[in-house]
Chains A and B, each alone.
Chain A
Amino acid sequence: QQQVKQSPQSLIVQKGGISIINCAYENTAFDYFPWYQQFPGKGPALLIAIRPDVSEKKEGRFTISFNKSAKQFSLHIMDSQPGDSATYFCAAMIAGNQFYFGTGTSLTVIP
């Protein structure tokens, strides 16, 4: 079964707008939640990550919001740019073992 559920499947945002991608999980043993960005023909690249003892983490235009009680976390991309057009994956990990990835969100930023 899908350990991490991601939505939406695709997202179209105007340049300068805010892109929001959501993920939900069930396993409370997960202790690390990264977001990866993937361009066509490339491997995923780590964008930003958070641990469950923190409710928010910001790096530049990228912010993770984490709601432990709801078992949900989201990626916010502020001032979205055409260069942000890519597929984004959320993931979850237990104790440094394997990652469980979401199904991905294809983001298109329109100029």
Chain B
Amino acid sequence: DTGVSQDPRHKITKRGQNVTFRCDPISEHNRLYWYRQTLGQGPEFLTYFQNEAQLEKSRLLSDRFSAERPKGSFSTLEIQRTEQGDSAMYLCASSDRKGTEAFFGQGTRLTVV
């Protein structure tokens, strides 16, 4: 399978705990995006990388959120001190340098209890 891979697929955590998600993009893609999707809504942009450089961050990305893409390969999204409002599907997408044809992974569904 050469698509975008996300791990884990599901995560249940207690409020206040830290969680980390991983995304492996399509290998030749140098752009990587993180989006968040809540039930009944479209995906909302969180951040994106061009290779290892984080080029843009949404105001949705509070100080509790951090994303990295070491060496321009896989990426991690960490949420510290999780809150119930963080419960959502976290989607990763990758694209070539043009950034138009973006391919999404299957997402990580986070439930904070």
Could you tell me which residues of chain A, from 93 to 111, have a CB within 8 Å of some CB in chain B? 93, 96-104
Could you tell me which residues of chain B, from 76 to 113, have a CB within 8 Å of some CB in chain A? 91, 93, 97-107
In the bound assembly, the distance between CA atoms of A43 and B107 in angstroms comes to 6
CB-contact partner of B106 in A34, A43, A98, A99, under 8 A: A43
The reply to whether A97 and B41 form a contact with Cβ atoms under 8 Å apart is: no
The reply to whether A96 and B42 form a contact with Cβ atoms under 8 Å apart is: no
Tell me if A's interface is mostly helix, strand, loop or mixed. strand
Q: How many residues of A contact B (CB 8 A)?
A: 23
The reply to whether B42 and A97 form a contact with Cβ atoms under 8 Å apart is: no
A18 contacts B by Cβ under 8 Å: no
Nearest chain B CB to A7 CB, angstrom units = 13
CB-contact partner of A43 in B44, B98, B99, B104, under 8 A: B104
- Chain B residues packing against A (C-beta within 8 Å): 4, 31, 33, 35, 40-45, 48, 56, 58, 91, 93, 97-107
- Chain A residues packing against B (C-beta within 8 Å): 6, 32, 34, 36, 41-46, 49, 89, 91, 93, 96-104
